[in-house]
Structure 1
Amino acid sequence: MQSILPNLKIQVNEKIYVKDPETSVLGRNIIKESILLIDEIGFDDFTFKKLGERIGSNESSLYRYFENKHKLLIYLSSWYWSWMEYRLILGTANMEDPCHKLKRAITIVTEKVEDDQTTEHVNESVLNRIIIAEFSKTFLTKEVDEENREGFFIIYKRVIKRIAEYIKEVNPQYPFAESLASTVTQGALHQHFLKDHFTTITNCNVTTTPADFYLHLVTGILNEEKQ
């Protein structure tokens, strides 16, 4: 995958940003440092003023790229899910067995994320921590329906649709493929959060991962449906 990813451009809806941050050194630095700063202080305390001070740039220069910090968070989330989609495509390529393909896909979207060295300005491991802690803030808003119509969440939904298709390949009769796929994708973030913060209400820990749980859950459900 490392030899292929540099040739792939992460796709993000152009309506999310004012200027594509991938097109300049400052823009890429905004992305790089915003990830690190949000991870350090949390999205609620994150401001463009603090980011500007961190990167040695005027606050006004950040607004040339993003209208506000909400749009920046949506951008980071879209980048993450686009990267995840590439991982799914490459990770399941040439896999003919539907069960193996589905298990590989579930593992990819639920396992602990390691930094991809081929993307110099994005630390995916840190970005994954942000997605776990902050992703729900992108859509738990009054503007969610309008932003959904604008296509802000299309990449996230594509990831879920892809997993749903893998579920249907394993069991075409299963009636809740999209619901199961979205439960796995979104639920994995929640289980990672519980594992790190509310350990008494999850069985996930250092030895049992969210990937283990969802592989067991999905396999059990689909096998039961076949009987």
Structure 2
Amino acid sequence: MQSIFSNISIKVNEKIYVKDPETSALGKKILQESIFLIDEIGFDNFTFKKLGEKIGSNESSIYRYFENKHKLLVYLCSWYWSWIEHKMVFKITNIEDPMERLKRAIIVVTEKAEEDLSIPHINEAVLNTIIVSEFTKTLHTKEVDDENKEGFFLIYKSVINRLIQLIIEINPDYLYPKSLASSIIEGGLHQYFLKDHLKTITNCNEHVSPTDFYLNLITSVLKK
């Protein structure tokens, strides 16, 4: 993965942050250590005070980059989905068969992420575990409609829209391409959560991954 993304700049909606954390060493340190701290203690217990102690900086310095911890989580999730979109585009480029393109895209959005060494301040594998456990908290808020209007979720929706188009290419008569695409994205995360915490209500386990399930699902659902 290092050679693929070494020259890619991942952009996040500037309305999410006060100052772009990618522009300074401190900003990158905030991103790097917030990922590990959220993974360690959970988002509910995460505070800028605890992050400041971890990075050896004043809490006020973090507020110069992010208005609150919700915006920081939205930033991390937006960064993740942008990274996923880059991976998806790379994987399906020059693939002629529509079903093969969709399968490759599903593998990208549902497989466990591995760390991309070309981006040293972001551990994508750990960030992936945060997305599984915490991503819905960026959406399930009273402010979601206003934040959606501000474009906070454009990257996330862009990933889903790419899946929608791939589904339509395979079967333009299928009635529910949007619901299927969004279910693959959300469901993939949920199946990983169930596999790790509520094992008796999922078929996913050490031998069957959420990717296996969704590859099986689309071959059945999209038959013409």
TM-score normalized with structure 1 length? 0.98
Deviation at 1:113, TM superposition (A): 1.1
Counterpart residue number, 2:34: 34
* AA at the equivalent of 2:79: W
Q: Deviations over 1:128-149 (max 9, x none)?
A: 0000000000010000000000
* Root mean square deviation of aligned Cα: 0.7
Work out the CA distance in 2 between the residues paired with 1:6 and 1:107.
Answer: 22
- Map 1:1-227; keep pairs closer than 5 Å: 1-223=1-223, 226=224
Q: Deviations over 1:47-103 (max 9, x none)?
A: 000000000000000000000000000000000000000000001111011010000
Work out the CA distance in 2 between the residues paired with 1:95 and 1:186.
Answer: 25
Kindly report structure 1 stretches of 4+ aligned residues shifted beyond 6 Å. Answer: none
Q: Deviations over 1:185-206 (max 9, x none)?
A: 0100000000000000000001
Work out the CA distance in 1 between the residues paired with 2:184 and 2:4.
Answer: 27
Deviation at 1:117, TM superposition (A): 1.0
* AA at the equivalent of 1:173: D
Deviation at 1:173, TM superposition (A): 1.0
Deviation at 1:4, TM superposition (A): 3.2
Deviation at 1:112, TM superposition (A): 1.1
Work out the CA distance in 2 between the residues paired with 1:29 and 1:208.
Answer: 36
Corresponding residue SS for 1:37? helix
Deviation at 1:12, TM superposition (A): 0.3
Gaps of 5+ in 2: none
Corresponding residue SS for 1:160? helix
Corresponding residue SS for 1:8? coil
Work out the CA distance in 1 between the residues paired with 2:206 and 2:87.
Answer: 24
Q: Deviations over 1:135-182 (max 9, x none)?
A: 000010000000000000000000000011000111111121111000
TM-score normalized with structure 2 length? 0.99
- Figure out how many residues of one structure are paired with residues of the other and give that number: 224
Gaps of 5+ in 1: none
Identity %: 65
Corresponding residue SS for 1:34? helix
